[in-house]
């Protein structure tokens, strides 16, 4: 495992650092990411139920904050992209956005400090929801045969091109879309967390070293803090992109022409 062990015993962070021991007990269901995921569900539910409970015409500060996030997903991601039938998909988009955003931000929250989305299982599951929804919507709207035909044989293209285009299109709709959706999120969170580990653990190691190395340690920590802010941006951006692409896929399935 520790083939890259540096002289002086520095162990660089690796993929193994993402496999945390169970927080308690000895079950696979009590690991940190799983507990964080449940925590996020509780936090999001409590926050938004508290914010929306009164549904007042003149909102309180809490309701205003909730409406800001909800309104952003509803209008900028739902209404703008999906169009007339957007209201049906708002709950899904809203859940995706808040769930991903909260779990991502857990990555830089002190004590929690672990993005659950850096475990690929969660992005896989999350990508499955819009994947199933946009295919289901397309089939329901256009009929199974017409929908599949529209994917495999894009209209308005010379017949010879189908040799090349058909496999690409099929792969796009059934493999590339869900995979890129989940892997983009996973890879960003994974790499981001790894980056923070490098700077923080590196700094930690440097400060224990000889005097010359001690002087360099603050730079490592500073960069670690800078990267934390950068990570915050990436975490918000990834939640936005995931939801945006889901909305775009649904909008594409809803529109008649491919």
Partner 1 sequence: MKTRFAAEAAANPLIPHTAELIVGFIAFTLLFLVLRKAVVPMFEKAFAARTEAIQGGIEKAERAQAEAAAALQSYTVQLADARGEATKIREEARVQGAAIIEDLRARAQEEAARITAQAHASIEAERQAAITSLRQEVGSLATDLASKIVGEALEDQARQSRVVDRFLEDLESAGSKEKAK
How many residues sit in the footprint of partner 1 (CB under 8 A)? Answer: 55
Q: Is 122 in the site for partner 1 (CB under 8 A)?
A: yes
Give just the sign of the alpha carbon dihedral 136, 138, 142, 146.
negative
CB atoms within 10 A of CB 38: 12
Return the residues of window 92-121 that contact partner 1 according to CB under 8 A.
92, 94-95, 98-99, 119-121
Query: Of 154 and 245, which has the nearer Cβ to partner 1?
Result: 245
For 56-76, give one letter per residue: b (16+ CB within 10 A) or e: eeebeeebeebeebbeebbee
Q: Is 15 in the site for partner 1 (CB under 8 A)?
A: yes
Q: Is 44 in the site for partner 1 (CB under 8 A)?
A: yes
Minimum gap (Å) between residue 33 Cβ and partner 1: 7
Q: Is 45 in the site for partner 1 (CB under 8 A)?
A: yes
Rounded Cα–Cα distance for residues 129 and 77 (Å): 16
Minimum gap (Å) between residue 107 Cβ and partner 1: 15
Q: Is 215 in the site for partner 1 (CB under 8 A)?
A: no
The answer to whether 97 and 59 have CB atoms below 8 angstroms apart is: no
Q: Is 126 in the site for partner 1 (CB under 8 A)?
A: yes
Rounded Cα–Cα distance for residues 143 and 134 (Å): 13
Q: Is 148 in the site for partner 1 (CB under 8 A)?
A: no
Rounded Cα–Cα distance for residues 219 and 98 (Å): 34
Q: Is 208 in the site for partner 1 (CB under 8 A)?
A: no
In this chain, which stretch among 48-56, 137-145, 154-162, 169-177 interacts with partner 1, using CB under 8 A? 48-56
Q: Is 70 in the site for partner 1 (CB under 8 A)?
A: yes
- Interacting residue with partner 1 among 66, 178, 202, 224 (CB under 8 A): 66
Return the residues of window 24-43 that contact partner 1 according to CB under 8 A.
28-29, 31, 33-34, 37-38, 40-41
**How far is the CA of 195 from the CAs of 46, 64, 68, 107, 221, in angstroms?**
32, 35, 31, 12, 12
Residues 6 or more apart whose Cβ sits within 8 Å of residue 217? 203, 204, 206, 207, 209
The answer to whether 62 and 55 have CB atoms below 8 angstroms apart is: no
Rounded Cα–Cα distance for residues 185 and 255 (Å): 26
Q: Is 20 in the site for partner 1 (CB under 8 A)?
A: yes
The answer to whether 67 and 51 have CB atoms below 8 angstroms apart is: yes
Residue 210 — φ and ψ, nearest 5°? -70, 170
In this chain, which stretch among 23-31, 132-140, 217-225, 247-255 interacts with partner 1, using CB under 8 A? 23-31
Return the residues of window 74-93 that contact partner 1 according to CB under 8 A.
74, 87, 90-92
Binding residues (CB under 8 A) for partner 1: these are 1-2, 14-16, 18-22, 28-29, 31, 33-34, 37-38, 40-41, 44-45, 48-49, 51-53, 55-57, 59, 63, 66-67, 70-71, 74, 87, 90-92, 94-95, 98-99, 119-122, 124-126, 129, 183, 186, 190
């Amino acid at each position: 495992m520790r083939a890259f062990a540096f002289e002086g015993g520095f162990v660089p962070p690796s993929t193994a650092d993402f496999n945390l021991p169970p927080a308690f007990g000895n079950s696979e269901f009590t690991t940190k990411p799983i507990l964080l995921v449940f925590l996020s569900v509780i936090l999001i539910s409590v926050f938004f139920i508290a914010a929306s409970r009164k549904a007042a015409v003149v909102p309180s500060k809490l309701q205003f904050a909730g409406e800001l996030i909800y309104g952003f997903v509803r209008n900028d991601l739902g209404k703008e992209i999906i169009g007339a039938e957007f209201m049906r998909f708002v709950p899904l988009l809203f859940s995706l956005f808040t769930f991903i955003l909260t779990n991502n931000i857990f990555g830089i929250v002190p004590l929690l400090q672990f993005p659950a989305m850096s475990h690929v299982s969660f992005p896989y599951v999350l990508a499955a929801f819009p994947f199933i929804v946009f295919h289901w919507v397309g089939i329901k709207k256009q009929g199974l045969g017409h929908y599949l035909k529209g994917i495999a044989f894009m209209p308005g293209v010379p017949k010879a091109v189908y040799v090349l285009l058909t496999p690409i299109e099929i792969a796009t709709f059934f493999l590339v879309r869900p995979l890129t959706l989940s892997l983009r999120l996973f890879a960003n969170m994974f790499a981001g967390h790894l980056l923070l580990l490098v700077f923080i653990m590196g700094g930690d190691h440097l400060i224990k070293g000889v005097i010359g190395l001690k002087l360099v340690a603050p730079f490592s920590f500073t960069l670690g803090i800078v990267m934390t802010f950068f990570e915050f941006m990436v975490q918000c951006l990834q939640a936005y992109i995931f939801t945006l692409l889901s909305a775009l896929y649904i909008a594409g399935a809803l529109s008649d022409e491919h």
